[in-house]
Amino acid sequence: MPTVSLSKKEYQLFAELVEKECGVKLNEELAPLLETRIMNLMAHLHCHDYDVLYQMLRGDTEPELKTRIIEAVINHETTWFRDEGLFDLLSEKLFPRLIEEIATGRRSFIRVWSAACASGQEPYSVAITFMDCVKKSGHPVRSGALSILATDISQTALEEASGGEYSTQQMSRGMRSYYRKGFFKSSSSGKYQIVDEVRRLVEFLKLNLLKNDIAALGKFDIVLCRNVGIYFTSDAREQLYQRLATSLNRDGALILGASEFMADKPGTYRLESYKGTYYYTLT
* Chain segment 187-229, per-residue pLDDT in tens: 888 899 999 999 999 999 999 898 889 999 999 999 999 988 8
52-56, 57-61, 193-197, 268-272: least confident range: 57-61
pLDDT in tens, 104-147: 999 999 999 999 999 999 999 999 999 999 999 998 888 789 99
Q: Which of 18-32, 198-212, 262-276 has the highest mean pLDDT?
A: 198-212
| 93 CB neighbour count, 10 Å cutoff | 16
The Cα 133–Cα 64 span in angstroms is 41
Beta bridge partners of 277: 274
pLDDT in tens, 62-95: 667 777 777 766 666 689 999 999 999 999 999 9
Q: Pairing between strand 184-186 and 165-166?
A: unpaired
pLDDT for residue 61? 59
33-47, 50-64, 235-249: least confident range: 50-64
pLDDT for residue 73? 65
CA nearest to 139, candidates 113, 181, 105? 105
Eight-state DSSP code of residue 15: H
pLDDT for residue 228? 86
H-type helices in the chain, by residue range?
8-22, 31-45, 50-58, 63-73, 84-89, 95-103, 121-137, 155-163, 168-171, 177-183, 196-199, 234-245
Confidence of residue 264 (pLDDT cuts 50, 70, 90): low
Written in H, E and C, the secondary structure of 179-231 is HHHHHEEECCCCCEEECHHHHCCEEEEECCCCCCCHHHHCCEEEEECCCCHHH
pTM of the complete model:
0.82
| 135 CB neighbour count, 10 Å cutoff | 10
Helix (H, G, I), strand (E, B) or coil at 98: helix
Instruction: Tell me if 160 sits within 8 A of 166, measured CB to CB.
Output: no
pLDDT for residue 2? 54
